[in-house]
Amino acid sequence: MNTFINNQIELFQEKNKNRGRLLVSCPDQPGIVAAISKFLFSHNANIIESSQYSTNPENGMFFIRIEFECPGLKDKAKEIEEQFTEIASQFDMEWKLTHVYQIKKAAIFVSKELHCLLELLWEWQSGDLMADIALVISNHEEARDVVEGLNIPFYYIPANKDIREQVEEKQLQLLKEYEIDVIVLARYMQILTPKFVAENPNKIINIHHSFLPAFIGARPYERAYGRGVKLIGATSHYVTNDLDEGPIIEQDISRVDHRDNVDSLKKIGRSVERSVLARAVKWHLEDRIIVHQNKTIVF
């Protein structure tokens, strides 16, 4: 990691050493917000940001994300978590408490096309993507120079359907070694096995080059051209065992017309892909996403 980025991270950690994020999902009922607010107040915490959503006030689900400032949070963290379990049990909550100063470690997987990788690296270099990009894994060599030029470890692991399990064993070993929190598939053109996905639930973020659920699978731009579409898009989603059908995090579109051939569709689409993936990764890093069934709530 270069000195500038390291300094950016250190400044961010110092600034946010007392800041936490609480994500909660539970059956909707009266008193949830009051109980959480009272609990945080009892620990002298100040709520900085709060967003909530209810699917249905009667027999629905309730979701909330709270970001708060709490003096001495590092020292209080264990006590806070232990005491919050009582409230969680009372309201049947699924919950997660994260500490903003704990920068998430990311692994980026990429194949030949580098536009999404380059966007993430640019956002990271500028300090707008607050993560520790611990390594990049690729089944091609195209990304090596740019990755190693930023002092990020690069691992070339050739992959195809015939050796997929052996390849993923190496990849999983690296993810464990680097203590990876999130995996970003930045146009990594390999299908992951159920074992790989199961070991990383809601931790693998993919970019698919179509506006899902349209054109699932391979060659979406060619199929879009064949259908004469007037809008093309990109979708970032969490990976599940159902191809391109995981919980959607972010989508966007761009207008096209009859003058655009397949190559121009791809060129327009790459711009959409870059921005969609970058936003999805940022929201994950900022703990803004709650996954419920096969949907996401993004605060």
CA 39/CA 35 separation, integer angstroms: 6
pTM of the entire structure? 0.95
Which residues in 266-298 are b (16+ Cβ under 10 Å) and which e?
bebbbebbbebbbbbbbbbbbbbbbeeeeebbb
Spell out the per-residue pLDDT of the chain, length 299, in tens.
Answer: 567 788 889 999 999 999 999 999 999 999 999 999 999 999 999 999 999 999 987 789 999 999 999 999 999 999 999 999 999 999 999 999 999 999 999 999 999 999 999 999 999 999 999 999 999 999 999 999 999 999 999 999 999 888 999 999 999 999 999 999 999 999 999 999 999 999 999 999 999 999 999 999 999 999 999 999 999 999 999 999 999 999 999 999 999 999 999 999 999 999 999 999 999 999 999 999 999 999 999 99
Catalytic machinery residues: 244
The full set of domains in the chain, from first to last, is 17-99 (3.30.70.260), 105-298 (3.40.50.170)
Give the residue from 40, 2, 42, 3 showing the smallest Cα distance to 21: 40
CA 103/CA 123 separation, integer angstroms: 15
CA 61/CA 67 separation, integer angstroms: 20
